Amino acid sequence: MAPESHSPLPQSAMFIEISSGTHHDYDGLYTVTNQLTKQSCGRLLPIFAGVFAAVLVLVPSMSSKFIAIGPVTIVGSTLIFPITFIFNDVLTEVYGYRQSRTIIWTGMAMQMFAAFFYWIIDIWPAPSFWHNQAAYSTILGQAPRIVLASLTVKSFLSCKKPEG
């Protein structure tokens, strides 16, 4: 007859506990569980990174449009930009500070990349049949300034306060 287990773990977790070598080795269970969590979350990392970068690239072009929500008027990017805060928190909690910083810096680089090409296309001469240059400049010509302002604010906010 098998000895009784006094483990606080449910029966479904017993195989992990027993396979770790000692009957009461809960560090082995933690390690296995942690590895399984990292593997499943690791599959989502490219999706999180892509959505985060896409939001940062969309914000400058959406900032050129004002919208009315009842009596309140706001900039269009106000609807999508809060997603970046959620992603910052989720990325840091799930993937760690280092991985999170890499994704955030990559997103900001993509924002600068998009703004640079908005600017290049804006200053590039248009063909004679295209009469929408003023509209393009009004909407997407603002993107480089918006990105510059955004990155300036982010750099001031990320400065560390002197200790002492």
Q: How many CB atoms lie within 10 A of CB 18?
A: 14
DSSP state of 78: G
CA–CA dist 93, 100 (Å, integer): 9
Long-range contacts of 19-28 (CB under 8 A, 24+ apart): none
Query: 49-87: per-residue pLDDT in tens?
Result: 899 999 999 988 888 889 999 999 999 899 888 888 888
Distance CA 152, CA 56 (A): 15
Cα–Cα dist 73/99, whole Å: 37
Q: What is the pLDDT along the chain (164 residues), one digit of tens a residue?
A: 555 555 454 444 444 444 444 444 445 544 544 554 555 667 788 888 899 999 999 988 888 889 999 999 999 899 888 888 888 888 888 888 898 889 988 999 999 999 999 999 999 999 999 999 999 998 888 889 888 888 888 777 666 555 55
Angstrom distance (rounded) from CA 15 to CA 127: 71
Tokens of 71: 């009596």
Cα separation, 56 vs 108, whole angstroms: 7
Q: CA–CA separation, 55 vs 94, rounded Å?
A: 20
